[in-house]
Amino acid sequence: MAFPIAVDRGCGRRVSNGVYWETGLSPYGRPLEDFLLDPPIRVPPDVLASTSAVGVHLHQSASGTWHVFDRIGREFYPHVTDFIEEVRRFGLSRRLPANLEFHRLTPDSRLVLIHDRAYIENFDAYGVGWTCPKQKESHADLGPDFCFGGCWEDLEQGTPVVPGLLEVRREMPSFEYFARLRPEGVVPEYSPAFFASFPCSRIAVVAGDQSTERLARARKAQLPVSEVPR
Amino acid sequence: MTDQLPLLPDETPAPVFALVQVDDIEPDEYLVGDPPSKAFVDTVRQFGLIHPVGLRYTLDGPLAVIYGRRRVKAARVVGLSQIPAMIWQCDVTLSDVLTLVENEQRKRNPLAALDTIERLAEQGATDEDICLAVGMPLGTLQAQKRLFRLIPPLRQAAREGKLLASGATEAARLPVEQQTQLVQVLEDEGQITVQAIRQVRRVRLEAAVQALPESLFATPGAEGFENPPAEPADPPRVESKLRRDLREVTEELEVWKALVNRQQGMLNTVYVVTGTGYYPRALENIQTLVEAAEVALDQLRQLHHKVPAEVITGLSRALVPFGVKVDTEASDGRRIT
């Protein structure tokens, strides 16, 4: 099992004593796209009201399993693709509060991700093509409906690759990726939406003066837990 | 055991009202706290000080401020020479107690403010007019106005003290349906507590989460995920992947060649186009795709699955620059090498 690579991420670097939900990368795993939700699912207003821009929340689904809902901050990841492309390269690592009710987490628990720009309501106004990340045949011609692939057509900034085209290179703290600029003059209408759901490979506790106590708490989860160096 | 500090005197001294010279009060550098906002200064300019500040004499220095530091600073900014004050005969300990007491007594009353804002608005005042007149930041006013969202029975409960201001603020965030549920709580229990409001919200949140599709929490490949990964023993899927690889390889090669032609000597930094857009892929990335295509071909060979000739020839053409030899039998029976 390979674990996420500790690099400078959009949301910064790991901190001592921090507790992190990790989803690792592996040559034997499933493609990242399998974990994306396409189309993204709009977040119901009641659920949205319960999530804050910072921090995570535990919720119990109809099956009785508890899941971690995490709203990806636009401050660090202005575009949902910033986050996805980071996960594609380095794996997923999201900080959990140290006082989370870890005993509720099981192998069936998922990290359910929300981004404020994950659903573009007026994507048909962009007048551009898209590539369905899950290669769904039914997404070839959606009409007014939205395919998650549209998010790769919605960058606001980037270094042009070929003059005159929308393709740009977007630089993130530890990598860069390629996508397209939003066509000029289009005013996007976004809805916050669930866009991905990841299982947990491991809960990592970063070494520090309180890591022993944090490890003890995290070990209440029915998941692998390890202490890792900063 | 230490002696307990007597915070409250046996008899509280009565303060004396006086108009005092601002110059007789300790200077701003001794007055802790934020400087007065421009809006606040404007109201002092307009109305003077509505509430007297609290002062006490010191042994041989200027008058010390017990409460009203911001008002004293504003008076200096405006240039008032005299301000109203309550002069207390007290020691430092009682002075500190009075500072805290006055702060506590001055808590906001959002419900009273709401009625006032509503009446002013009814007379045609805009938010900006009100803010300008009373020195209230626009954000504060808008926060106050959220209480307008309270349905009439809850607003009445707030007026009657059956819903405290903190609860009213929370209740105002709820949709009408949930506020209506709180009316039932009011009828049953005679009051609405913050806990009751949170309980109503929690129940609704739980229902909303439980109504989410299970696909949100499913394992890829399980029901709800439309595109499970290809099974090795499923030739049509492998062939489909092969076709995609072929398309990507050929597209990348085409653009790669075009770009290399245009930008001689930039092999390591050149960017290539695929059907899914631009990627920072150079030769090794194409090689990865080629290898994937080889794996797919191998699988098909082992499964004795015959791939259409045009796919094989296309792939063969694409792989030649990389020294990869395709040797397989196409569906039309031709052996392609």
Mean pLDDT of A22-49: 85
- Helix or strand (DSSP H, E) at A45: helix A45-50
Residue B286, pLDDT score:
62
Mean pLDDT of A161-175: 82
Q: What is the pLDDT of residues B83-100, one digit of tens each?
A: 999 999 888 888 888 888
Residue B54, pLDDT score:
93
**In the predicted structure, residue B228 carries a pLDDT above the cut 60:** no
More confident residue, B112 or A180: A180
Residue B234, pLDDT score:
61
Helix, strand, coil percentages for chain A (3-state, nearest 5): 20, 30, 50
**Cα–Cα distance for residue pair A126/A182, rounded to 1 Å:** 7
Mean pLDDT of A200-228: 92
- Helix or strand (DSSP H, E) at A86: helix A80-90
Q: Is the pTM for the entire model greater than 0.95? A: no
| Cis peptide bond N-terminal to B235, omega within 30 | no
Residue B273, pLDDT score:
33
Are the beta carbons of A67 and B220 separated by less than 8 Å?
A: no
Please report, for residues A57, A90, B296, the alpha-carbon distance to residue A26 in angstroms, rounded to integers and kept in the order given: 28, 11, 20
Mean pLDDT of B298-302: 68
Q: What is the pLDDT of residues A89-99, one digit of tens each?
A: 888 999 999 99
- Between A148-157, B182-191, B239-248, the lowest mean confidence (pLDDT) is in B239-248
**Cα–Cα distance for residue pair A115/A78, rounded to 1 Å:** 9
% of chain B beyond a pLDDT of 90? 16
Interface residues of chain A, partner chain B, Cβ below 8 Å: 30-31, 33-35, 37, 41, 44-47, 49-50, 59-63, 65, 67, 108, 110, 112, 131, 134-136, 138, 152, 161-162, 167, 169, 176-180, 194, 197, 199
Residues of chain A with C-beta less than 8 angstroms from the C-beta of B270? none
Residues of chain A with C-beta less than 8 angstroms from the C-beta of B273? 167
Mean pLDDT of B25-30: 90
Q: For residue A12, what is the DSSP state?
A: B
- Of A193, A194, A197, A202, the residue nearest A226 (C-alpha): A202
**In the predicted structure, residue B251 carries a pLDDT above the cut 80:** no
Residue B275, pLDDT score:
31
**In the predicted structure, residue B238 carries a pLDDT above the cut 70:** no
**In the predicted structure, residue A42 carries a pLDDT above the cut 90:** yes
Question: Considering chain B, what is the average pLDDT of its residues?
Answer: 75
Round the CA-based radius of gyration of chain A to a whole number and report it.
18
- Per-residue pLDDT band for A151 (boundaries 50, 70, 90) equals very high
- Per-residue pLDDT band for B255 (boundaries 50, 70, 90) equals low
- Helix or strand (DSSP H, E) at A49: helix A45-50
Phi-psi region at A192: left, alpha or beta (left = phi > 0; alpha = psi -120 to 50): beta
Long-range Cβ contacts of B151-154 (<8 Å, 24+ apart)? B151/B176, B151/B179, B151/B180, B151/B183, B153/B183, B153/B186, B154/B179, B154/B182, B154/B183, B154/B186, B154/B192
Residue B277, pLDDT score:
34
Mutant choice from A161, A168, A172 vs B, greatest count of B C-beta within 10 A: A161
- Between A30-34, A121-125, B170-174, B243-247, the lowest mean confidence (pLDDT) is in B243-247
Mean pLDDT of B155-173: 85
Q: What is the pLDDT of residues A71-117, one digit of tens each?
A: 998 888 999 999 999 998 888 999 999 999 999 999 999 999 999 99
Mean pLDDT of A2-18: 77
